[in-house]
């Protein structure tokens, strides 16, 4: 595993980190691999170190829609904190990388044994619920161009690189819009010199410009995370 660490695990007291990681195993995040499926029991929780995961929901015959994104700032499987082992979405690896993985029952036992872990994961779940509510409003009220800029910034944050692989088909899936809308919005960003996009390879050229182009939900999302995760975790 790389020297960098999942931010949730970093928040734990050092002794608790060591005890918790002893119960986890390293796991590779393979691009486009599904880590969980709708209504299926969660077998594991995942704590990304590099790479990131999209939470995608399918409703009737409508195109799938991304309702959340998980990188090294959080975890996949926070429902287990509530004793719930099913989710309404699919978890799809959007950026390849590595993570720590722990079996569902082992996580439940770890939370019983380490109160600081349980408290931290409860806050992480609260953050995600707030962020998903914000994302729902964003999808309803903000135009495609602003939402695309926000989504690219979120991906850029979690990829921790200026270049990453993504297709227009995948972006249209994530934003829940037709591909032609993504093409038009991406062309505008490229014309403004904010990104370069060629054959599925996207480069962020002007991060500050992309932030100005994005809707206010991007900064609101980051503020939510900072404020709700601000409390220190005791042993």
Q: Over the stretch 194-219, which tens digit does the pLDDT of each residue have?
A: 999 988 889 999 999 999 999 999 99
105-109: long-range pairs with CB below 8 Å, 24+: 106/23, 107/45, 107/77, 107/80, 108/80, 108/83
Tokens of 159: 């990829």
User: What pTM was computed for the model?
Assistant: 0.90
Per-residue model confidence (pLDDT) at position 46: 97
Residue 38, φ and ψ in degrees, nearest 5: -60, 130
Task: List, by residue range, all CATH 1.10.10.10 domains of the chain.
Answer: 143-214
Chain segment 39-96, per-residue pLDDT in tens: 888 999 999 999 999 999 887 777 778 888 999 999 999 889 888 778 888 999 999 9
Alpha-carbon separation of residue 50 from 104, 149, 172 (angstroms): 21, 22, 24
Task: List, by residue range, all CATH 2.60.120.10 domains of the chain.
Answer: 7-139
CATH placement of domain 143-214: 1.10.10.10
CATH 2.60.120.10 is right for the domain spanning 7-139: yes
Per-residue model confidence (pLDDT) at position 38: 84
């Amino acid at each position: 595993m790389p020297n960098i660490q999942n931010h949730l695990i970093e928040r734990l007291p050092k002794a608790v980190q060591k005890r918790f990681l002893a119960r986890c195993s390293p796991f590779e995040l393979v691009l486009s691999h599904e880590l969980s499926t709708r209504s299926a029991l969660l077998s594991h929780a995942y704590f990304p170190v590099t790479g990131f995961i999209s939470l995608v929901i399918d409703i009737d015959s409508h195109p799938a829609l991304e309702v959340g994104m998980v990188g090294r700032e959080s975890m996949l499987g926070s429902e287990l904190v509530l004793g719930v082992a099913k989710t309404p979405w699919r978890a799809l690896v959007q950026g390849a990388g590595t993570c720590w993985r722990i079996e569902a029952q082992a996580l439940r036992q770890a939370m019983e044994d380490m109160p600081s872990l349980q408290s931290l994961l409860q806050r992480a779940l609260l953050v995600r619920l707030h962020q998903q509510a914000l994302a729902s409003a964003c999808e309803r009220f903000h135009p495609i161009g602003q939402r695309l800029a926000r989504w690219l910034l979120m991906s850029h944050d979690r990829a921790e690189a200026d270049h990453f692989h993504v297709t227009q088909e995948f972006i249209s899936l994530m934003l829940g819009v037709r591909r032609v809308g993504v093409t038009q919005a991406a062309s505008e960003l490229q014309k403004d010199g904010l990104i370069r996009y060629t054959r599925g390879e996207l480069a962020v050229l002007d991060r500050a410009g992309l932030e100005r182009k994005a809707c206010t939900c991007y900064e609101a999302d980051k503020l939510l995370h900072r404020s709700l995760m601000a409390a220190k975790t005791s042993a």
